[in-house]
Amino acid sequence: MQTKVTQLFPETALERVLEALERELLEATDAEILEAARDLGMKPEMKGSAAFLGLRYPSGPRREEFFDPQWMLRVLNDPRRISLAGRSLPPGAEGPRAPSARRARTRPAGRRPRPPKEPTES
């Protein structure tokens, strides 16, 4: 008996999974939504809650609103930028010196050290 071989494309699998998960979310009760929001530290019942970001008021500006995505890809994939970032330092060259962890504290000007207290006779 021959086994039926079916090829499953990842797009088809993704569409099916998304559709099934969408059904799950449609069935979610209000209590479940509130519980999930509280898990994230959100209070949807309050005015100006972060849960409504992008719904009642706009979320922050996205970089795609200012830059063309194709242009950004070209810039990020520019081989010159990659080679510059990956270039190792020549032998013998030292990087910037890190400041020493313990430095001597300089006393602020104008302040003199106090004379030691003399023992009082009592």
Partner 1 sequence: MPIENIFAAVSAGSRELRITHRMQPLADARVLRPTQVALALKLVTEMDLLRLKTIARLHARGLPPDMGWEDLLQEALTRVLTGARRIPEQIAPVAFIAGVMRSLRSEHWRRAGKASKRYAASDYRARGTRELALKDTAPDPERSLIAIEELKAIERLFADDPIVLGIIDALGEGLSAGQIRAAQGLSQTDYDSARKRMRRCLLREGLTCRPK
Residues of this chain that bind partner 1 (CB under 8 A): 8-11, 13-14, 16-22, 24-28, 30, 32-37, 39-40, 42, 44, 50-56, 58-59, 62, 64, 69
- Measured from the CB atom, the residue of 16 and 81 that comes closer to partner 1 is 16
Token pair of 17 as six digits:
């999974």
- Nearer Cβ to partner 1 (27/94): 27
Task: Specify the DSSP class assigned to residue 118.
Answer: P
Q: Identify the bridge partners of residue 53 per DSSP, sorted by sequence position.
A: 57
Closer by beta carbon to partner 1, 32 or else 78: 32
As measured in angstroms, the least distance from the Cβ of 94 to partner 1 is 39
Dump the DSSP string for 16-68.
HHHHHHHHHHHH--HHHHHHHHHHTT--TTSTT-GGGBTTTB--PPPGGGTS-
| Minimum distance, C-beta of residue 85 to partner 1, in the bound complex (Å) | 22
